């Protein structure tokens, strides 16, 4: 296998000279080793309260090791104090703040004001593995941003506060309460660290230096979202960086398929000076069928812990013929800011067979065949106030009209955690908004749309009944449900946090209140690593495929998968291995595909134009099926439930297997009747196998993984 290597070396002599930090005229001034000003800190603003802390006016030429006591303006209490100690660090300096403030003075929104370069936050994770084993996962490193550059030095801020609360004019100062006096005076502490690096240093080189690691490897591919056509030659690009020391390592690139077969193992010698970069192009043989491929970059001396991992996929080109009848879509996607990025994202959605988007603009999505709804939320803690909220509601209606949304899902999961005492008030608040919406809808020129209830967090008959009890059932056109699912397969019908069970229980309640269309506006396949409550990558693909088939079988109006991207809306591209919310995507954090992305596309493709016929089970066996009539012929989704629907048990030592590890214990052969000479088997990621019939029968080995089969006669 050929490979191409390009090197960019930066000499270690480019490490900048020491910084100087001084104070003059109320500013803290930072200069590089040549005396060029890098940044000047102006003041500390409390933001959520009136006080402003000002640095001293007197000149102090060298602030290292010294403490500045700030003067306080706009302090109505006379009790606020702020001091700042400046200290050297290994790579720059730290501003350590001590703040005292009485109760009633908010200290959550403090901002250190300074002018800087346009703000761009860089987020990184380091691959790690738990001591108990399991799949590797990324651990968050502090995000960073560059604030200033001189001829010799770039100055970086190591973000310790809320990374969303910043601009080119300042950064958030995160404080922690240390103590509290008897009279209520709180004493808090927080710090902000800055690092000086050679001019031209990349974010990867900076984070390497700060973390004391040798190498950082980032991966990308030659196609957006690393999705290739069948027959196309994939190319993976590795960028290898060194920090403030030279690095000489032997790396191996390993590519595996869905079965765990190693398709490529390639060695690369890395020789980098300090602050160096090496680019490696890794061409891969063209895939001849649908598939997902797992790429690990490891140190050749230790194959266990990856320096980086990514994926790429091969998918067929397919033109959907019956998209207008499809219930499938996405609950959320992180829309890029640039037009080319938006085009690539909508193109991916179209390829996946996305018909609906929970919240979007039809002026943008309609050219791709995607219907965008509107979704928003208001506070559940108070009712609609005409004086305060009429203008807010009018803005919502204007947005509906501008974006041409045919449906509006209003609010989100207010039922979560509510009991018989708290539920009536929350429902009353909700209905006060619905009545205001109804009144506004009746005005001439109001946009036409269907009003969908808030998405219920799991089955909640009591909440729906309370809506009806308070006279609100007729205010809603449709009902939305988030049918949660834990450590069970999608077809589990038990009570609790189950997918099919939640759908059917909600349907039963709706029938007693007056039937309406049901929308599944958040359907889940969470892949939090080594969590017994959540899916492995392989289980997520199996369960998502089955979830979509079951949604069509249950005749839901929409089935919207939550969500396209890993990470969360307030930390796009971020890392937090402790929070399951970061693992709901069909795409990994690096925008490469998960197996569940292929499962989504496989389900929408196979079910294009299909209609449900029946649930089927063979007596005295664990064989089950969903039978559909489709333009492709008879379609059955079959699986064997000998191993049950419980995927895992809670335990301290639970770990997930790698995605290429099939964890089903039982494999059972079943005989089926067919009128075809050959039946087509399609697994959850879309790989096809043609199985010839013999005397009108085929024998298929099944596990608990759903398998689509074209051409069976179920009896």
Looking at residue 302, its pLDDT comes to 74
pLDDT tens digits, 280-303: 999 999 989 999 999 999 998 877
Looking at residue 13, its pLDDT comes to 36
pTM of the model: 0.95
Looking at residue 2, its pLDDT comes to 35
Burial (Cβ within 10 Å: 0-12, 13-18, ≥19) of residue 406: middle
Looking at residue 301, its pLDDT comes to 81
pLDDT tens digits, 16-53: 668 999 999 999 999 999 999 999 999 999 999 999 99
Looking at residue 9, its pLDDT comes to 37
What is the rounded distance in angstroms from the CA atom of residue 30 to the CA atom of residue 32?
7
Return the SS3 of 160.
Answer: coil
Burial (Cβ within 10 Å: 0-12, 13-18, ≥19) of residue 76: exposed
pLDDT tens digits, 96-142: 999 999 999 999 999 999 999 999 999 999 999 988 899 999 999 99
Looking at residue 6, its pLDDT comes to 35
Which parts of the chain sit beneath pLDDT 70? 1-17
Nearest residue to 281 (alpha-carbon basis) of 340, 239, 229: 239
- Which 8-state DSSP code applies to residue 382? S
Looking at residue 17, its pLDDT comes to 62
- Which 8-state DSSP code applies to residue 611? E
Residue 160 in tokens = 């310790």
Residue 137 in tokens = 């996962």
Nearest residue to 333 (alpha-carbon basis) of 365, 298, 366: 365
């Amino acid at each position: 296998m050929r490979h191409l290597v390009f090197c960019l070396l930066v000499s270690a002599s480019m490490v900048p000279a020491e910084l100087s930090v001084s104070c003059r005229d109320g500013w803290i001034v930072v200069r590089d080793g040549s005396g060029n000003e890098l940044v000047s800190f102006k003041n500390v603003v409390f933001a959520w309260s009136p006080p402003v802390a000002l640095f001293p006016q007197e000149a102090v030429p060298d602030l290292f090791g010294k403490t500045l006591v700030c003067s306080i303006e706009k302090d109505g209490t006379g009790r606020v104090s702020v001091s700042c100690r400046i200290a050297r660090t290994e790579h720059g300096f730290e501003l350590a703040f001590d703040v005292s403030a009485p109760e009633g003075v908010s200290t959550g929104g403090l901002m250190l004001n300074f002018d800087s370069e346009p703000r761009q936050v860089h987020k990184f994770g380091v691959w790690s593995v738990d001591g108990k084993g399991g799949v590797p996962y990324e651990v968050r490193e502090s995000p960073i941003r560059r604030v200033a550059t001189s001829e010799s030095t770039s100055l970086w801020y190591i973000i310790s506060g809320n990374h969303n609360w910043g601009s080119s004019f300042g950064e958030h100062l995160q404080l922690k309460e240390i103590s509290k006096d008897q009279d209520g005076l709180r004493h808090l502490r927080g710090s902000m660290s800055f690092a000086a690096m050679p001019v031209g240093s990349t974010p990867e080189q900076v984070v390497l230096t700060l973390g004391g690691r040798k190498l950082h490897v980032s991966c990308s591919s030659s196609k957006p979202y690393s999705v290739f056509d069948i027959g196309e030659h994939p190319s993976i690009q590795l960028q290898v960086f060194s920090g403030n020391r030279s690095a000489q390592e032997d790396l191996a690139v390993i590519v595996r398929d869905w079965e765990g077969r190693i398709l490529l193992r390639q060695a690369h010698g890395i020789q980098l000076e300090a602050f160096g970069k090496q680019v490696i192009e890794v061409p891969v043989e063209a895939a001849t069928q649908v598939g997902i491929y797992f790429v690990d970059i490891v140190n050749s001396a230790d194959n266990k812990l990856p320096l980086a991992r990514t994926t790429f996929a091969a998918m067929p080109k397919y033109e959907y013929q019956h998209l207008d009848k499809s219930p499938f879509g996405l609950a959320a996607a992180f829309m890029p800011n640039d037009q080319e990025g938006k085009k690539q994202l909508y193109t991916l959605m179209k390829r996946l067979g996305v018909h609906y988007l929970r919240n979007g603009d039809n002026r943008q999505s309609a050219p791709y065949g995607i219907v965008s709804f509107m979704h928003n939320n208001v506070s559940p803690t108070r009712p609609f106030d005409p004086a305060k909220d009429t203008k807010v509601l009018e803005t919502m209606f204007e947005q509906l009209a501008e974006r041409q949304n045919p449906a509006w899902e209003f609010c989100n999961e207010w039922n979560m955690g509510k009991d018989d005492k708290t539920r009536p008030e929350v429902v009353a608040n909700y209905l006060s908004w619905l009545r205001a919406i109804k009144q506004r809808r009746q005005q001439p020129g109001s946009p036409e749309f269907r009003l969908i209830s808030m998405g219920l967090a799991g089955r909640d008959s009591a909440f729906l009944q309370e809506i009806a009890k308070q006279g609100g059932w007729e205010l809603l056109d449709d009902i939305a449900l988030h049918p949660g699912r834990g450590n069970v397969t999608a077809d589990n019908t038990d009570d609790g946090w189950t997918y099919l069970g939640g759908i059917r229980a909600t349907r039963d309640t709706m029938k007693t209140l007056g039937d309406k269309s049901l929308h599944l506006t958040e359907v889940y396949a969470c892949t939090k690593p080594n969590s017994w409550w959540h899916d492995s990558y392989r289980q997520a693909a199996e369960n998502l495929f089955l979830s979509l088939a079951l949604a069509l079988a249950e005749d839901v109006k929409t089935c919207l998968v939550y969500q396209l991207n890993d990470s969360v809306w307030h930390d796009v591209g971020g890392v937090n291995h402790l929070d399951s919310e970061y693992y709901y995507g069909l795409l990994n954090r690096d925008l490469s595909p998960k197996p569940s992305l292929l499962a989504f596309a496989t389900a929408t493709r196979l079910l294009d134009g299909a209609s449900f016929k029946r649930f089927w089970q063979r007596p005295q066996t664990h064989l089950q099926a969903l039978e559909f009539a489709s333009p492709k012929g008879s379609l059955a989704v079959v699986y064997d439930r000998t191993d049950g629907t419980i995927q895992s048990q809670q335990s301290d030592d639970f770990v997930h297997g790698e995605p290429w590890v099939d964890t089903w214990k039982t494999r059972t052969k079943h005989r089926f009747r067919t009128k075809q000479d050959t039946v087509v088997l399609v697994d959850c990621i879309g790989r096809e196998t043609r199985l010839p019939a013999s005397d009108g029968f085929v024998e298929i080995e099944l596990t608990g993984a759903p398998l689509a089969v074209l051409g069976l006669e179920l009896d």
